Structure 1
Amino acid sequence: MENFIVSARKYRPVTFETVVGQQHITGTLKNAIKNNQLAQAFLFCGPRGVGKTTCARILAKTINCTSLTPEQEACGTCESCQSFQSGHSFNFHELDAASNNSVDDIRSLIEQVRIPPQAGKYKIYIIDEVHMLSTSAFNAFLKTLEEPPPYAIFILATTEKHKILPTILSRCQIFDFNRIQVEDISSHLAKIAERENIATDNDGLHIIAQKADGGLRDALSMFDQIVSYTNRNVTYKAVIDNLNILDYDYYFKLTDYITTGDVSNTLLLFNEILNNGFDGNNFINGLAGHFRNLLVGKDNQTIKLLEVSENIKQKYLTQSNNTNLGFILTSLNLANQCDLNYKNSKNQRLQVELALIKMCHIPSVIQLANTATDLDQDKKKTLVKNDSPASAPVQRPAAATTPQAPIATPIEKKEQPAAAAQPAETFPPKIEVPKPSAPTASSIKIKPLPKSTSGSLIPSLTDLNSGMGADEEDKGPQYLSGNEKQAFTQAQFMACWQQYAQKAREEDKIHLFTLLTSNEPVLEGINVTVLIENIALESTLQDEKIDLLNFLRGKLNNFDIQLTPKRIEAKQSDRIYTNKDKYAYLVEKNPQLEEFRQRFNLDLLP
């Protein structure tokens, strides 16, 4: 039986020209060889499987080649190239730092460096996974790396540059390898399939390239696996079955159900996905990625961000044109919130189902919001027409006073000046709006939604998260319109301030209670200056600032209120210092202590 060689080894690049997706690296190295400006040490860093070790080997072979091509590539036929390809070259040494990471291993390497090359111009030392060297080994390597013999060149490769000592980094030319683009991986796989006489599907190759996450070696490994699974016929269906990937068609079908408000079919389709063995978290992340693709498909300038095959791209563009921008943005937010809450939820399936149900109600909310906006505009036109002196009284038949059908948003009544009173028959008939006995979809109070820069209406995300059909008047201060600027007095402000302090005490927020009661705030119009004695209390204010502002703005009906912290000297008092006081004193001396406490989520003893 003939020995099988995996594609990652069989089709490993042997020249700079055949390296995939790293043109900025190969171009720089070829120019350095051409101009004879080779550094004594190189550091190749980047994700796994992007060509770091491959480029190191190509560079080692090229700089010792005796007959370079005009493109600065190794000829592959000279004695140096032949010995390198057969593995018998004495000028090339490769060390795996993962298993040779001690000081003795580096000392042995330094002893070899002292011996000049017997044939050729350079001796090249490749140290792979260099971040695995111990600190002692790094220190032993420093002097040789900084001032090596003129014939020695070191090429270091690592996936974790942050673990390498700064003294090592400063002695190397650093080359950062990028993740390989999906299109580059897909085209490379297509070339290999053509050489191996393997039938392929472009959609299937794109799925492999996306799953590889920028690593060509991972893509080639998955490619070999699927070739064996499909008996040399790589199709889109075979790829998603073998790699356990959710089909695009599920997301397109689900989006159609959601945009039409079909809750039943949406939940049934999600149940089918779970029965096929897919995880709910992966599903919601995939759905968020689907909405993201719909969003970038809205603009011709961002269509290039769709990393999918041409066939799938056309489907995205079609569905994107038929989907409201406000719906896409709101659904993205709901999917993101579901992803954040998923791992902490005891009923994870319910989290996803709630998000899907909210998404199904987004179109109706947008429609009701548009209706409310139209009604407000019609009402304004009517009022302007009635107030105009040119408008003549119009006699209305008695039948016109019949109550009309319920309207989604009740029309507010404005008081007319007494001087404008006219006989009842000359006024337009009043529209009586009956109030439903129980909250229904038609009685939801919805304010006109702000328009985005593109002109589309975007529904309030907070309304959706707090439950569909909830009464807006009972939702508290976070639903201020932003236009309320009611004046308030010092006494009213201090009453609200003390009320929030008492609330903090009841919730055992001792630091916040101390902050609110230790010094009286300074009120200047709408600007509130909070007096702070130490860094610990300042950190507490930053954590609670949003909730405190929402409380004050809601209670005082003024959305322009702003909080500004101000440091003051701590008051001197003859009192027994608690642990919190001692901690505040220590933080004053060393501010990094508070950062340490927050990073490890520590609490003070009472």
Structure 2
Amino acid sequence: MDNFIVSARKYRPDTFDSVVGQQHITSTLKNAIHHNQLAQAFLFCGPRGVGKTTCARILAKTINCEQITANVEACGTCAGCKSFQAGSSFSIHELDAASNNSVDDIRSLIEQVRIPPQSGKYKIYIIDEVHMLSQAAFNAFLKTLEEPPSYAIFILATTEKHKILPTILSRCQIFDFNRIKVEDMANHLSQIADKEGVLYEPDGLHIIAQKADGGLRDALSMFDQIVSFSNKNISYQSVIDNLNILDYDYYFRIVDNIAKEDAAQALLVLDHVLNSGFDGGHFISGLSSHIRNLLVSKEPVTTKLLDVSDNIKRKYIDQSQALSSGLLLSILNIANQCEVNYRSSKNQRLQVELALLKMCHVSSAILLSKQGTLTFSAATEQKKKQPESVKPPEYPSELRREIVNKVSSTPDVPKQVSVQSSTSLPFSKTIEQNAVVEKPVEKKGWGKITSSVQVPNLNTIFDDKSSDEDLEPDLVEGSEFREVTLNAFLSAWNTLAELFREKSRITLYTIMTANMPRFDGSKIEVDVENAVQLDELKLGKIDILNYLRVELKNFSLDLEGVQVEVTRVRKPYTSQEKYQAMADKNPALETLRKAFNLGLS
């Protein structure tokens, strides 16, 4: 019986063109060889199993080939190529830095570098896992790497570039290897399966490529394992059974159940998944990826982002067209929150089940939200169309002034009452979402005042209240524009400030009395010390103007706050500071201290 050779070794690339998924690197190396522009130190870095050491060996064999082909590949027939393939070349040396990482090992390598090649043009040193060298070994290697002999070329390979000294990096040409794409890996596996006479399903090879996570060596190891498991018949089912992978079908069924709001079936599918030995966190993570793929499938231009086979891609497209983007985003948000809370939860299964129940009721929540919005819009439109049944009463000017004064000085009067013109006093209007209940309110000296009682709508109770602005008192408008003297303005201003103090609106009282307002006949400017006072002034602006416009019979009055910088004087604290402050006020104190030679305790 012949010895079995694993696919990772049997089908290891031996030319640049046979390297999978690293065309940007192989083309650069071929051009450097063709133009004879080889650096004396290369650094190949990237994840495991992407071809770093393989490319280093191909490069070493090609530059020492005696008959390089027109396509810049090693001929494979010359003495240099044969000795390399047999592992007996005296010009190409491989060193594993993981087990030879001391200063003595590097010194031995430096001694070998001094000897010219016995055959071939170059002497090549391939150092794998170079980041494992010790600090002292790196320092010993620096001088040789900076000024090597003309015939010496160093090829360093590592998976952790950040661990290499910057002084080493600056002396190398750095090549970053990418993770191999799923499509390229699946095509390579299909070629190997054809050569080995293995039957396969493309979906199964795609699953292997996805599981390998960009590493071709891992993919080939799994390929050999499944070939043995399935007796040279790789099917989709055999792959997911052997690699313990959740089938796509579970996620398609879960999403269908969510769309139908069938919570019972969704929980049964989860129970079957958990009984099959899969972790709940793995399930919810896979569901998030599945929903992401559905969102990607919504647009034809983004379907190329799916790393799945054509058959699975068609399933994604069909399911995505039956679901709205809003529903998918809501489900994805719930799944992401469940994934965050999963590890810290004591009852992890309950976390996943709760997430599925929320997902199954997302459609109903979205529908209720839309119905609430439509109801609110219809009620608003109907409210606009309805004529006002109660006309506001008209009052004489003296009576209106008395009412305004009572409104300003009475703290428990509803804020819906506001003055809008010089001849009428209408009540402010409130837009309700469902119903408005009108009831009279008895106040001494007021008569009956109609107030609006708002009934909340539970469907839209958490929505932004678009009618909040309408609840604020309106600014008084009128046609009187009498000339106002400064004394009359200041008298009304101080009276209003006292009214605010009586109503416990201390901040407004402080703002109005702290600094003298500036008045030019129509515009009032008030100095404030900080942003808090400025905001408070903006909130009380309508109340101030409503009072002043009616009181002074000038409806062109406007108010503006001006924030000024206030320089704080630091109070004296220490004995020295207190004495200095006293001496500044009375210089004779310093004369007295000097006369009696006094000091500070």
TM-score (norm 2): 0.68
Match of 1:339 in 2: 339
Match of 2:138 in 1: 138
**C-alpha offsets along residues 69-102 of structure 1, whole Å, 9 cap, x if unaligned?**
1111111111111111111111100000000000
Aligned mates of 1:195, 1:524 — CA distance in 2 = 83
- Any residues of structure 2 matched to 1:121-132 within 5 Å, and which? 121-132=121-132
Match of 2:42 in 1: 42
1:372 deviates by 1.7
Aligned mates of 2:232, 2:132 — CA distance in 1 = 39
1:526 deviates by 5.3
The change in CA–CA distance for 1:364 and 1:70 in structure 2 (over 3 A counts) is same
- Of the three residues 515, 523, 526, the one matched with 2:532 is 523
Match of 1:111 in 2: 111
Match of 1:188 in 2: 188
The change in CA–CA distance for 1:221 and 1:415 in structure 2 (over 3 A counts) is same
Counterpart check, 1:330 vs 2:330: yes
**C-alpha offsets along residues 226-270 of structure 1, whole Å, 9 cap, x if unaligned?**
000000000000000000000000000010101111111111110
Match of 1:412 in 2: 434
Aligned mates of 2:573, 2:138 — CA distance in 1 = 55
Aligned mates of 2:6, 2:165 — CA distance in 1 = 35
Match of 1:148 in 2: 148
Match of 1:4 in 2: 4
Letter in 1 for 2:224: D
The change in CA–CA distance for 1:216 and 1:526 in structure 2 (over 3 A counts) is farther
The change in CA–CA distance for 1:42 and 1:386 in structure 2 (over 3 A counts) is same
1:387 deviates by 5.1
Aligned mates of 1:571, 1:359 — CA distance in 2 = 63
The change in CA–CA distance for 1:492 and 1:370 in structure 2 (over 3 A counts) is farther
Aligned mates of 1:334, 1:257 — CA distance in 2 = 16
The change in CA–CA distance for 1:352 and 1:118 in structure 2 (over 3 A counts) is same
Aligned mates of 1:482, 1:216 — CA distance in 2 = 58
Larger radius of gyration: 2
Aligned mates of 1:217, 1:573 — CA distance in 2 = 76
Aligned mates of 2:468, 2:75 — CA distance in 1 = 78
1:377 deviates by 2.9
The change in CA–CA distance for 1:108 and 1:572 in structure 2 (over 3 A counts) is farther
Give the secondary structure class of the aligned counterpart of 1:220.
helix
The change in CA–CA distance for 1:521 and 1:96 in structure 2 (over 3 A counts) is farther
1:413 deviates by 3.5
Count of residues in Structure 1 that have an aligned counterpart in Structure 2: 438
Give the secondary structure class of the aligned counterpart of 1:25.
helix
The change in CA–CA distance for 1:492 and 1:257 in structure 2 (over 3 A counts) is farther
1:483 deviates by 8.9
Aligned mates of 1:526, 1:113 — CA distance in 2 = 78
The change in CA–CA distance for 1:247 and 1:482 in structure 2 (over 3 A counts) is farther
- Are the equivalent residues in 1 in contact too, given 2:376–2:434 (CA < 8 A)? no
The change in CA–CA distance for 1:492 and 1:305 in structure 2 (over 3 A counts) is farther
Letter in 1 for 2:146: E
Match of 1:58 in 2: 58
Specify every segment of 5 or more residues in structure 2 that has no aligned partner in the other structure, as ranges: 389-431, 441-453, 473-499, 508-528, 537-567, 575-601
Give the secondary structure class of the aligned counterpart of 1:523.
helix
- Any residues of structure 2 matched to 1:251-262 within 5 Å, and which? 251-262=251-262
Counterpart check, 1:309 vs 2:318: no
Give the secondary structure class of the aligned counterpart of 2:109.
helix
Instruction: Compute the RMSD of aligned alpha carbons.
Output: 3.2
Aligned mates of 1:522, 1:381 — CA distance in 2 = 39
1:67 deviates by 1.0
Letter in 2 for 1:96: D
The change in CA–CA distance for 1:228 and 1:3 in structure 2 (over 3 A counts) is same
Aligned mates of 2:571, 2:315 — CA distance in 1 = 68
Give the secondary structure class of the aligned counterpart of 1:156.
strand
- Any residues of structure 2 matched to 1:328-367 within 5 Å, and which? 328-367=328-367
- Are the equivalent residues in 1 in contact too, given 2:433–2:457 (CA < 8 A)? no
Letter in 1 for 2:207: I
**C-alpha offsets along residues 136-157 of structure 1, whole Å, 9 cap, x if unaligned?**
1001101111111110010000
The change in CA–CA distance for 1:169 and 1:283 in structure 2 (over 3 A counts) is same
- Any residues of structure 2 matched to 1:110-509 within 5 Å, and which? 110-386=110-386, 411-413=433-435, 445-447=458-460, 472=461
The change in CA–CA distance for 1:169 and 1:493 in structure 2 (over 3 A counts) is farther
**C-alpha offsets along residues 295-339 of structure 1, whole Å, 9 cap, x if unaligned?**
101111111011100000000000000011111111111111111
Aligned mates of 2:78, 2:243 — CA distance in 1 = 44
Aligned mates of 1:493, 1:224 — CA distance in 2 = 83
1:411 deviates by 3.7
1:120 deviates by 1.1
The change in CA–CA distance for 1:15 and 1:249 in structure 2 (over 3 A counts) is same
- Are the equivalent residues in 1 in contact too, given 2:434–2:457 (CA < 8 A)? no
- Any residues of structure 2 matched to 1:74-113 within 5 Å, and which? 74-113=74-113
Aligned mates of 1:132, 1:27 — CA distance in 2 = 29
Which shows bigger deviation, 78-87 or 375-384? 375-384
1:57 deviates by 0.3
1:415 deviates by 8.6
Letter in 1 for 2:532: L
1:572 deviates by 11
**C-alpha offsets along residues 420-440 of structure 1, whole Å, 9 cap, x if unaligned?**
xxxxxxxxxxxxx9x9xxxxx
Letter in 2 for 1:23: Q
Match of 2:29 in 1: 29
TM-score (norm 1): 0.68
Aligned mates of 1:351, 1:255 — CA distance in 2 = 18
**C-alpha offsets along residues 329-367 of structure 1, whole Å, 9 cap, x if unaligned?**
111111111111111111000111111111011000111
Aligned mates of 2:290, 2:238 — CA distance in 1 = 21
Which shows bigger deviation, 375-384 or 298-307? 375-384
Aligned mates of 1:327, 1:573 — CA distance in 2 = 65
Aligned mates of 2:123, 2:572 — CA distance in 1 = 72
Aligned mates of 2:126, 2:264 — CA distance in 1 = 61
1:492 deviates by 8.7
1:380 deviates by 3.5
Match of 1:426 in 2: none
**C-alpha offsets along residues 157-200 of structure 1, whole Å, 9 cap, x if unaligned?**
00000111111111111100000000000000000000000000
The change in CA–CA distance for 1:268 and 1:132 in structure 2 (over 3 A counts) is same
1:385 deviates by 3.8
